[in-house]
Amino acid sequence: MAVFIGLVASTALAEEIPRKSASAPPVVSRSIPIDSIWYYGSVGERSLRRLEPDLLVFRDTPENIKKYSSPEALKDQREKAKRSLVLKIEKALRGLPIADPKITPAPGFVVHGTGREALQGIVNVLVEEKKPEGNFSSKDELSLVFFTHPTGVGTGIESVEVEGNSINITYFLTSNSTLLSNPRLYLIPLGELPAGKYAVNMARPANEASRNQPGFPPIPAGVEKYTVCRPFDFVVSE
């Protein structure tokens, strides 16, 4: 089961994952469970907003609508929202340039922590525009941030594989009925990694066309170059 926010549809395009890191740590091969990935979206059990239950509420049931709709409740929500890191991240994502062949997306990046602990690292890069960290400790819990620019193309994560010192992300791009989709962000938990230099690779799958909504054209090759964050490397030390 793939993580996918937005309408379902897609195209076929296969890419090689050629990059290998120069120094290999002890071989570790494992899959990151798709249902462990958090994502930017206002709904769903893995929405980033679920990481701040004390600050953000979901008015998604009749009971919650009634509970959180009084003037006092709305005022309380506004005050708590001011402290939300997730809302700052969402605002920064919406402020990214619309995907266009003239732009070059920034690389993805790694942050300290998993779940809520990782939010400050995302704020540092996307909101405060600090340079992403590139060196980490083997004792650190880490998360990987994969994101896209606003575009009419839907995006989803099909798989994340840790193979030795390579982290391979397979994602799909889909055409749909929306003229402009929201940007996407996926927070992928890596946990602790052995010391070494890691290469993060990104590729669209060969079976992408199977996800395409009937009647919509496939996404051509090359769109990812100005839509999706770029591959990158990082180092883990003892």
Rounded to an integer, what distance in angstroms lies between the CA atom of residue 48 and that of residue 115?
Answer: 8
The pLDDT value given to residue 75: 86
DSSP annotation of 99 reads: P
* pTM summary value: 0.84
The single-letter DSSP state of residue 12 is -
pLDDT digits (tens, 9 = 90+) for 136-192: 999 999 999 999 999 888 889 999 999 999 999 999 998 865 656 789 999 999 999
Q: Report DSSP letters for 138-155, one per residue.
A: TTS-EEEEEEB-SBSEEE
